[in-house]
Amino acid sequence: MVLIHVVGSYNLDLTVKVDRFPEDGETTFSNEVRTGHGGKGSNQAVSASRLSSKVKLYAAVGNDDVGRDAISFWESEGVDHGNVKVKKGRTGSAIIIVDKKGKNRIIVNRGSNLLLDPEDVDLSSSGKDDVLLTQMEVKESVVKKSLREFNGIRILNPAPSIISDMSLLEHVDILTPNEIEFKELTSTDDIQDGIDLILKKVRMALIITLGERGVIIATRHKRVIIDSVKVNPIDTTGAGDVFNAALAFAIEKGTTLEEAVGFANAVAGLSVTIEGALGPKLEEVKLFLDKLNIKMP
């Protein structure tokens, strides 16, 4: 059985909705406040599971009510949480401010995510057809070990783009930064120079998500731009996580990279029309793809 393995974070999200972001020193009023499940690892795991993938999550929560709620949530979403560690401390959290255009600003307190240690994650028995998704909201040493010992396709979503040892990219098959993360990783505003720099390190491909401007796929042999789908965004929170989950799902199904990115782009587009950081359910995706004349992987 082919699996998607997700190594990453869990956060309790506190989302605050405003008409506009406050200026420095300014107080503004909120229209709505809500809590929900978040964290890049959890978002990706749940979003992939909703697409029908078999998902194993490797993460850490605190020994508090928030951590216990997270485990119950994963059970309800069909995510295998047998490798989630319960640590002595507070579960991670995030404050998300969303304006009326659906744009967001996020502050994360990593909490127990920083207590996940390399020895807590063992991927040595992974299959060659399995897919790994990981990000940078846990320790870099955990990410590095996971990439090195995984036996299948390895996807790194470098969010946030705080990487002290760039040699870990040599163990990455597909790197998926957004435009801001790409510029931070390459220290250049010249997109072609940055692409050339990254492709000297990663094994297969660089995929840069550009929001409403689409997605760039770059390999050593080809550069392709995939247009975004036209939607009216309500909440862009988690769109990158949904994109990565859908990308892993499509790759696991054996599609070409361009087909996988086209599918992931559509699913992420649908996700921003729904409030919250989690991906849409499978039936919602199928209906949306029918309208776009895109086939399921």
Distance CA 270, CA 15 (A): 20
29: in domain: no
**Residue 69 is among the residues annotated as catalytic for this protein:** no
- Residue-wise pLDDT for 16-47, tens only, equals 999 999 999 999 999 899 999 999 999 999 99
What distance separates the 2 farthest-apart alpha carbons in the chain? 54
Q: Known binder of ligand: residue 151?
A: no
**pLDDT given for residue 257 in this prediction:** 96
**pLDDT given for residue 104 in this prediction:** 87
Question: What pTM was computed for the model?
Answer: 0.93
Instruction: Show the domain range for 186.
Output: 4-8+39-86+116-292
Average pLDDT estimate for 235-247: 93
Q: Known binder of ligand: residue 276?
A: yes
Identify the sign of the CA torsion 110, 114, 115, 120.
Answer: positive
**pLDDT given for residue 281 in this prediction:** 95
161: in domain: yes
Distance CA 188, CA 181 (A): 11
- Looking at per-residue pLDDT, the higher value among 295 and 62 belongs to 62
Helical H segments across the chain, by residue range: 40-50, 65-76, 140-149, 179-186, 191-199, 239-252, 257-271, 282-292
Pairing status of strand 223-226 against strand 215-218? antiparallel
Q: Known binder of ligand: residue 279?
A: no
Distance CA 283, CA 251 (A): 20
Q: Known binder of ligand: residue 209?
A: yes
Which two three-digit tokens encode residue 203?
């094994």
- Residue-wise pLDDT for 142-197, tens only, equals 999 999 999 999 999 999 888 999 999 999 999 999 999 999 999 998 999 999 99
Q: Known binder of ligand: residue 39?
A: yes
Residues forming beta bridges with residue 15, ordered by sequence position: 34, 96
Alpha-carbon separation of residue 156 from 78, 82, 113, 173 (angstroms) = 23, 22, 17, 8
22: in domain: no
Q: Known binder of ligand: residue 270?
A: no
Write the CATH number for 149. Answer: 3.40.1190.20
Q: Which is the catalytic residue, given 69, 189, 241, 290?
A: 241
Q: Is 264 exposed, middle or buried (0-12, 13-18, 19+ CB in 10 A)?
A: buried
- Residue-wise pLDDT for 262-275, tens only, equals 999 999 999 999 98
23: in domain: no
Tally DSSP H helices, then E strands, for the chain: 8, 14
Contacts of 221 (CB under 8 A, 6+ apart): none
151: in domain: yes
Residues forming beta bridges with residue 108, ordered by sequence position: 94
Query: Is 237's pLDDT higher than 90?
Result: no
Among 80-84, 123-127, 227-231, 285-289, which is the least confidently predicted range? 227-231
142: in domain: yes
Split at pLDDT 50, 70, 90, the class of 224 is very high
**pLDDT given for residue 209 in this prediction:** 96
**pLDDT given for residue 27 in this prediction:** 94
**pLDDT given for residue 15 in this prediction:** 92
- Residue-wise pLDDT for 63-90, tens only, equals 999 999 999 999 999 999 999 999 999 9
Split at pLDDT 50, 70, 90, the class of 214 is very high
Number of domains in the chain: 1
137: in domain: yes
**pLDDT given for residue 239 in this prediction:** 92
Distance CA 124, CA 121 (A): 9
Query: Is 212's pLDDT higher than 90?
Result: no
24: in domain: no
